[in-house]
Amino acid sequence: MIRTKLIGMVVLVLLPSALFGQKEDIPRTEYFSQFRAALEKSDSLSRRQLKQSRLVFEGKVTQEAWTSEYQLPDRVRYLHITDVGGKRWSTEQITIGKDQYCKKNDDPWILVTGLSSCIPGSARGVSGVISEVFGKQKTMLNGKTVTVYSWYITHKDTFSKSAATDGESFSESKFWVDKTGLILRAEDRSGLVRDTTPRFEEIETYEYGSAIKIEAPLKKS
């Protein structure tokens, strides 16, 4: 009798732990609605975002790092650093209201007029989608219970020069939110399914509550 009760207690203890990390398939609409909501919540707070990426293309490794700081209501600082084969470039931009300041490498700061940005933009996409799966699961991040949402795409990269022999490619996106829906981390990876390491990888973390103070680098005349 005592043994039966002990077994029952063990089952009750282990069951929540097993369910905690269980991945659940979700519809596309849930993934994107949660992602948009998480970004909107983040945009309402002063914060620091740190992002790093690594791309291997035609034998060359490109590494990039972004620091993005937001001091509400209208102060933003961007720092973008690119490293290709040991050669390094940096661009920094500070926006305060309608004023925008830019600095490239060791050049002096300049005041930029108009709506142009000195920080380069980037965009990625996939072609020839074969399948896609959306999911979510409970997990731990920095000692906190969070929910991670995932989007995994299998596709045929029709733009690659070696597409005929590459086989299937993959693209995977994930983001982590806390119990309030606030985004804490995001990751993107892509490459060939057959490879053990991705050709592209990007990791971004979000910091809230930090003392962020952004000042103009030049005095307006």
pLDDT in tens, 76-105: 999 999 999 889 999 999 999 989 999 999
pLDDT of residue 210: 75
Alpha helices in 91-204 (DSSP H): 163-166
Query: Does position 38 have pLDDT exceeding 90, yes or no?
Result: yes
The SS3 assignment for 44 reads coil
> Are the beta carbons of 126 and 138 closer than 8 angstroms?
no
pLDDT of residue 116: 66
Q: How confident is the model at residue 5 (pLDDT cuts 50, 70, 90)?
A: very low
Which is nearest to 168 in space by CA: 158, 183, 181? Answer: 158
Q: What is the percent of the chain with per-residue pLDDT over 90, rounded to a whole number?
A: 68
| Mean per-residue pLDDT, 95-118 | 88
Q: 0.75 exceeded by the pTM?
A: yes
Domains within the chain, CATH numbers bracketed: 23-208 (2.50.20)
Q: Which helix (H) or strand (E) holds 12?
A: helix 2-20
Sign of CA dihedral 25, 15, 178, 154: negative
| Mean per-residue pLDDT, 70-80 | 96
Count the Cβ atoms, other than its own, within 10 Å of residue 47: 20
Sign of CA dihedral 138, 170, 121, 78: positive
What DSSP state is assigned to residue 108?
Answer: P
Question: Cβ contacts of residue 95 below 8 Å, gap of 6+?
Answer: 74, 75, 76, 77, 101
128 token code pair: 């020839």
Distance separating alpha carbons of residues 5 and 169, to the nearest angstrom? 51
What DSSP state is assigned to residue 113?
Answer: P
Query: Does position 19 have pLDDT exceeding 60, yes or no?
Result: no
Look at 65 and 161; give whichever has higher pLDDT: 65
Distance separating alpha carbons of residues 193 and 145, to the nearest angstrom? 30
pLDDT digits (tens, 9 = 90+) for 180-194: 999 999 999 999 998
Phi, psi (rounded to 5 degrees) for 149: -105, 140
Which is nearest to 186 in space by CA: 207, 208, 203? Answer: 203
Which is nearest to 39 in space by CA: 184, 162, 138, 190? Answer: 184
pLDDT of residue 162: 73
pLDDT digits (tens, 9 = 90+) for 126-175: 778 999 999 999 999 999 999 999 999 999 876 567 767 788 999 999 99
pLDDT of residue 218: 92
pLDDT of residue 11: 38
Distance separating alpha carbons of residues 29 and 136, to the nearest angstrom? 13
